[in-house]
Structure 1
Amino acid sequence: MTRVLLVPGRGEPRPEHWLRRWSAANPHHTWAPEPPGPPYRVDERVAALHAVLSAAEEPAVLVAHSAGCLTVAVWASRHTGPVRAALLVTPPYVGPDWRPGPDDPPDSFVGEVPRARLPFRSIVVASRTDPYATVEQFHGYARDWGAELYDAGEAGHLDAASGYGPWPAGERLLRRLLDGS
């Protein structure tokens, strides 16, 4: 059996967010970290993801949103483990000149996002109207990580504020990763 691990972004997903809905509808999905929520400190999030992955030998598919995608990229640059695939939904662009915002802890993300090819199958979901990355930046992540790029259209940040509670297209992408198709 393949585990599904939900890797949240920097904030706590609201109850109507698709990640929360997937968690509620699928009690076998596991949060990494549990409970999901602020503050976002990349080293703590990577350690939490590694702990959950190391707790069992069965393979996992990671489903990450926003800063959770950065957590996955950093984890993959430091660790190995039973990851079969990852769905990376709207990763924010963090360039060399990025600085934490006023609501971010100063150590929320330090350094550059790893850009090496991921050692597992992955899909980067891009939005043409995301406030945290351009289409070109999504293409760059997908190219560097060796990921398939999925164009979600004009979907904002694919969060509750953008109208994404239910997200059937995301469920289909997850099924593809689980089925290996």
Structure 2
Amino acid sequence: MSLLFVDGWFGPEPGDWQSVWCDRYPGSKRFEQDDWDEPVREDWVARLDEALAETAEPPVLVAHSLGCLTVLHWLAGGGDRPVRGALFVTPSDVEENREEALAGFAPIPRLTLPFPAVVAASSTDRWMTPARARSFSESWGARLIDAGPVGHLTGAHGPWPEGEKLLAPLL
């Protein structure tokens, strides 16, 4: 089973939970964006599509923050490569948090996902309120999990074994 990690704004951090998981699961892959600091939706979506084209089998997407929106915009734009499932971890609400660098990712697509998905939302995430996470999860047809008071689950959080329990059913 392959995992494809779709990182968010500013990209990978040394020792973050995604790095730990990528090392732990054979066949996992992280791909690079051309510009992690000044994201352009069309470029990020194109890089995701390229990474999906290179997978030997339908992967489970593990998306974090702006990476979640990258997946949604890929689907909204007609992305049709096979995907087994997705774990969306602390998606960013670029509609409520009006960060100029992320404006191109608004509005957030509200579409029914064509694969099983879980949304792990934090009760203390400054980028998405629990109520908004619930609303988006419902529109996507994804199962919502309260990850607790874990903030935005950045690299400082560590390996996040609780998240692996959310990933397991998608594998």
> Normalised by the size of structure 1, how large is the TM-score?
0.85
- What's the RMSD between the two structures over aligned residues? 2.1
Counterpart for residue 86 of structure 2: 86
Task: Tell me how far apart the structure 1 counterparts of residues 107 and 33 of structure 2 sit (CA, whole Å).
Answer: 25
Tell me, yes or no, if structure 1 residue 174 matches structure 2 residue 167.
yes
| 3-state SS, counterpart of residue 69 of structure 2 | helix
| 3-state SS, counterpart of residue 124 of structure 2 | coil
Tell me, yes or no, if structure 1 residue 145 matches structure 2 residue 144.
no
CA deviation after TM superposition for structure 1 residue 81, in Å? 1.1
> Do 1:13 and 1:36's aligned partners in 2 also have CA atoms closer than 8 Å?
no
| 3-state SS, counterpart of residue 52 of structure 2 | helix
Q: 120-129 or 24-33, which moves further after superposition?
A: 24-33
CA deviation after TM superposition for structure 1 residue 160, in Å? 2.5
Q: Percent identity?
A: 40
Counterpart for residue 130 of structure 1: 125
Task: Tell me how far apart the structure 2 counterparts of residues 141 and 147 of structure 1 sit (CA, whole Å).
Answer: 8
Counterpart for residue 64 of structure 1: 63
Task: Tell me how far apart the structure 2 counterparts of residues 67 and 138 of structure 1 sit (CA, whole Å).
Answer: 14
Q: How many equivalent pairs are there? A: 170
CA deviation after TM superposition for structure 1 residue 19, in Å? 0.9
Letter in 1 for 2:93: Y
Q: How does 1:1-181 map to 2 (within 5 A)?
A: 2-26=1-25, 28-33=27-32, 37-56=36-55, 58-78=57-77, 79-95=79-95, 99-101=98-100, 104=101, 109-161=104-156, 164-178=157-171
> Do 2:94 and 2:103's aligned partners in 1 also have CA atoms closer than 8 Å?
no
Unaligned 5+ segments in structure 1 are none
1:128-164 deviation digits (Å, cap 9, x = unpaired): 0001110001101100100000111111111124xx2
Misfit runs of 4+, over 6 Å: none
| 3-state SS, counterpart of residue 117 of structure 1 | coil
Q: Compared with structure 1, are the counterparts of its residues 36 and 84 closer, same or farther at alpha carbon in structure 2 (3 Å cutoff)?
A: farther
> Normalised by the size of structure 2, how large is the TM-score?
0.89
Q: Compared with structure 1, are the counterparts of its residues 25 and 39 closer, same or farther at alpha carbon in structure 2 (3 Å cutoff)?
A: farther
Letter in 2 for 1:11: F
Unaligned 5+ segments in structure 2 are none
> Do 1:42 and 1:109's aligned partners in 2 also have CA atoms closer than 8 Å?
yes
